[in-house]
Chain A
Amino acid sequence: MGLPDKKGHYGIYGGRYVSETLMPAIFELEEFYKKIKHDKGFKDEFYGYLRSYAGRPTPLYYASRLSAQYNAEIYLKREDLNHTGAHKINNTIGQALLAVKMGKKRVIAETGAGQHGVATATVCALFNLECEIFMGSKDIERQKQNVFRMELLGAKVTPVESGSATLKDAMNEALRDWITNVATTYYMIGTVAGPHPYPEIVRDFQSVIGKEVLKQVDKQPDILIACIGGGSNAIGLFYPFLKYKDVKMYGIEAGGFGIETGKHAASISGGKPGVLHGNKTYLLQDEDGRIKEAHSIAAGLDYPGVGPEHSYFADDKRIIYDNVTDFEAVSAFLMLCKLEGIIPALESAHAIAYLNKIKGGIKGKMVIINLSGRGDKDMHIISDYLMSKKV
């Protein structure tokens, strides 16, 4: 795969759409990463931390009761068993190593639900880096426990009041901080979005997921499913499988209340190409090109954009993108709790929900679902949802 090209484009998507002040920092990161990414010492160090600190490799678990229910062979890639409870740590370990080697002393990051914030705060403690996390004030209200976790880990959590006071505004504020403190600060983006080279860097670090699966299976799977917010867990699973043309891949966006209601976070299914946060990609936007607020019950999917590589594969049709609603995700969440004794993150429940919707069904097929995170963080959201609705 030759993507991205030299200028960081994935077909017409991706690129480097940032203000001039940041361009040198982006070039610096690109050059540094180019030099180090094939370096054996760097790779050994990265995989070493993944093993001894994050707890990798994560199991590929055969879900027997779920399989019986669907008359299929269903496996769950247990990213929920990682340290900090999700796949996010794969990326933050990699980027923290980059930051240290680049001589940066301070790390900033944006967070929505707080999972990337926690994973960032964690590695900053591990590598003794100053850490500031930008988080929308609405999200702080919704995710108090994660705020406390970040603070325990030594991070400063800065509330963002501007705009819709959610993830996209946190990212705006992180970019503003980076513009101001660019000489000393490393910006640790949490997903496969942002200006080049971030989508490539995050994809490479997350690809450990798919590489492990390739070693864990004894035959070629028929179907891969992963949820998509920015899309880092999905690309992490899919990327090493792209060359196997018979493997069908499904990226599942958050349909919220349903695409037709306009209240969703499905940038590919319900958005149009545009430019935000440094890259060209599918975005939720109004008729004047302003960014719309996203909605999803899963805070980690609640973002009005998606990684540019996903936009490319959506047009290319190599990966099929679809969505499930809040209701369908919660139903799948409850099903997995009861059938397998696994409480998934609401984000990952979107991928599970898609088992019901695959065209042609999955009878007799081998399916791998990326269980990207665990659901402990979602207890209060689920309980509120169940109280207000009957699922």
Chain B
Amino acid sequence: MNRIDNLFKSFKKDKKTAFIPFISIGDPDIKMSFEIVKALINNGADIIELGFPFSDPMADGKVIQRSYQRALKNHVSMRDAFDFIKKIRKVSDIPVIFFTYYNPVFFYGASRFAKDAQNTGIDGILTVDLPPEESDELKEFTDREGIDQIFLLAPTSDAGRIKHILSYAKGFVYYVSVTGVTGARSVLPRQLQEKVKEIKKIKDIPVGIGFGISSNKQAKEISAYADAVIIGSKIIQFIENNLNDKNKILKDIAEFSSDIKSSLL
């Protein structure tokens, strides 16, 4: 049982929904992104999802693309990312999910990555371009280290596909709410609740919903049936809108975060 499982277990008992904010490591700079993580933890984040900046983020919308580009200017290496998470571990026991495209992990070496990630205190890894069909080359090592490989389900996944993916899923499953890339949307699809029911019928696993969520109203609605709400682009917008005012970034993110947290059922 790792930190992710423990959290969802206790939330299930208390009928609570988890808030999972996403930011990129190193945006706008390493020091500041650490302050942002602290602000999120102090204002309601239940799990932290950290993006490892990549040069070619095919599945991401403009906001996260720009976030990665800002972070890449700070030359965030894998070692820097691990140091960053070690620093979090000194102040908090919050579950940490490492979000990345697969190439940096492959290049670092899957075995070495899993070992170092475990030592660092990473609880789950989400490699967005590593579907179950290709995931064995990493699974062997993440399993060994007790790290959850988090998988995505999409609106395009049919029942057979959902079943297939769920047979791999650990920790929780990440349901992508829209057919598209990451980024805030004002309107979310209606059939989300049915999808969650469909998933739960196949496997009793926590379901987090992400992609497109931007307001406390949406978050509240989703929390009625999902186990976690994942928000990225909307939070990163507070960074890019206030690049010259670090205090405002922290203040806006703290306010938004506690606002979301208090709206969750």
**Could you tell me if B56 and A172 are in contact, using CB atoms closer than 8 angstroms?**
yes
From residue 272 to 298 of chain A, which have CB atoms closer than 8 A to chain B? 272-278, 280, 283, 285, 287-291
Q: For residue A174, which residue of chain B has the nearest CB?
A: B58
Q: How far, in Å, is B98 (CB) from chain A's closest CB? A: 14
* Chain B residues, Cβ within 8 Å of A291: 55-56, 103
Let me know if B231 is at the binding interface, CB within 8 A: no
Instruction: Name the contact of A275 in the complex, choosing from B62, B106, B133, B157 (C-beta under 8 A).
Output: B106
**Could you tell me if A288 and B104 are in contact, using CB atoms closer than 8 angstroms?**
yes
**Could you tell me if B176 and A20 are in contact, using CB atoms closer than 8 angstroms?**
yes
Instruction: Name the contact of B179 in the complex, choosing from A17, A21, A280, A283 (C-beta under 8 A).
Output: A21
**Could you tell me if A20 and B152 are in contact, using CB atoms closer than 8 angstroms?**
yes
**Could you tell me if B131 and A20 are in contact, using CB atoms closer than 8 angstroms?**
yes
Let me know if A216 is at the binding interface, CB within 8 A: no
Q: How far, in Å, is B149 (CB) from chain A's closest CB? A: 13
* A19 in contact with B179 given A274-B107, A288-B104, A289-B106 (CB within 8 Å): no
* Chain B residues, Cβ within 8 Å of A56: none
Instruction: Name the contact of B154 in the complex, choosing from A15, A17, A20, A278 (C-beta under 8 A).
Output: A20
Let me know if B243 is at the binding interface, CB within 8 A: no
* A17 in contact with B107 given A180-B179, A183-B179 (CB within 8 Å): no
A21, B60: Cα distance in complex, Å = 12
**Could you tell me if B54 and A19 are in contact, using CB atoms closer than 8 angstroms?**
no
**Could you tell me if A277 and B58 are in contact, using CB atoms closer than 8 angstroms?**
yes
* Chain B residues, Cβ within 8 Å of A162: 62, 65, 69
**Could you tell me if B181 and A179 are in contact, using CB atoms closer than 8 angstroms?**
yes
**Could you tell me if B107 and A19 are in contact, using CB atoms closer than 8 angstroms?**
no
Q: How far, in Å, is B237 (CB) from chain A's closest CB? A: 17
> How many chain A residues have a CB neighbour from B under 8 Å?
38
**Could you tell me if A16 and B131 are in contact, using CB atoms closer than 8 angstroms?**
yes
* Chain A residues, Cβ within 8 Å of B65: 162-163
From residue 87 to 119 of chain A, which have CB atoms closer than 8 A to chain B? none
**Could you tell me if A19 and B156 are in contact, using CB atoms closer than 8 angstroms?**
no
Instruction: Name the contact of A163 in the complex, choosing from B55, B104, B154, B161 (C-beta under 8 A).
Output: B55
* A180 in contact with B157 given A17-B102, A290-B104 (CB within 8 Å): no
**Could you tell me if B55 and A179 are in contact, using CB atoms closer than 8 angstroms?**
no
Q: For residue B178, which residue of chain A has the nearest CB?
A: A180
From residue 17 to 59 of chain B, which have CB atoms closer than 8 A to chain A? 54-59
Let me know if B78 is at the binding interface, CB within 8 A: yes
Q: Which of A15, A20, A163 is most buried by chain B, counting CB atoms within 10 A of its CB?
A: A20
* A176 in contact with B56 given A20-B176, A289-B105 (CB within 8 Å): no
Let me know if A18 is at the binding interface, CB within 8 A: yes
Instruction: Name the contact of B158 in the complex, choosing from A24, A285, A289 (C-beta under 8 A).
Output: A24
Q: For residue B55, which residue of chain A has the nearest CB?
A: A290
Instruction: Name the contact of A289 in the complex, choosing from B57, B103, B161, B180 (C-beta under 8 A).
Output: B103
Let me know if A377 is at the binding interface, CB within 8 A: no
Let me know if A249 is at the binding interface, CB within 8 A: no
A180, B183: Cα distance in complex, Å = 12
**Could you tell me if B180 and A17 are in contact, using CB atoms closer than 8 angstroms?**
no
Q: How far, in Å, is B66 (CB) from chain A's closest CB? A: 8
**Could you tell me if A180 and B181 are in contact, using CB atoms closer than 8 angstroms?**
yes
**Could you tell me if B59 and A19 are in contact, using CB atoms closer than 8 angstroms?**
yes
Let me know if B165 is at the binding interface, CB within 8 A: yes
Let me know if B129 is at the binding interface, CB within 8 A: yes
**Could you tell me if B56 and A17 are in contact, using CB atoms closer than 8 angstroms?**
no
* Chain B residues, Cβ within 8 Å of A7: 133
A1-26 vs B, Cβ < 8 Å mask (1 yes, 0 no): 00000010000000111111111110
A312-332 vs B, Cβ < 8 Å mask (1 yes, 0 no): 000000000000000000000
Let me know if A175 is at the binding interface, CB within 8 A: yes
* A179 in contact with B129 given A17-B102, A288-B77 (CB within 8 Å): no
* A179 in contact with B180 given A21-B156, A172-B58 (CB within 8 Å): yes
**Could you tell me if B134 and A289 are in contact, using CB atoms closer than 8 angstroms?**
no
Q: How far, in Å, is A201 (CB) from chain B's closest CB? A: 18
Let me know if B11 is at the binding interface, CB within 8 A: no
Q: How far, in Å, is A349 (CB) from chain B's closest CB? A: 29
* A24 in contact with B55 given A19-B128, A290-B72 (CB within 8 Å): no
Let me know if B153 is at the binding interface, CB within 8 A: yes
Ordered by A's residue number, 25 sampled pairs between the chains whose C-beta atoms are within 8 Å are A15-B134, A16-B134, A17-B131, A19-B58, A19-B128, A20-B157, A20-B176, A21-B176, A162-B65, A163-B65, A169-B56, A176-B59, A179-B181, A180-B179, A182-B156, A183-B156, A277-B56, A278-B129, A280-B106, A289-B78, A289-B103, A289-B107, A290-B55, A290-B56, A290-B104
Q: Across chains A and B, which 4 residue pairs bring their CB atoms closest together, nearest first?
A: A289-B107, A289-B104, A21-B154, A290-B55
Kindly list 9 other residue pairs between chains A and B, CB separation below 8 angstroms, not including A20-B176, A176-B61, A183-B156: A18-B131, A19-B58, A20-B156, A179-B58, A182-B156, A283-B103, A287-B77, A289-B103, A291-B56
B interface vs A, CB < 8 Å? 54-62, 65, 69, 72, 76-78, 101-108, 128-131, 133-134, 151-158, 161, 165, 176, 179-181
A interface vs B, CB < 8 Å? 7, 15-25, 162-163, 168-169, 172, 175-176, 179-180, 182-183, 272-278, 280, 283, 285, 287-291
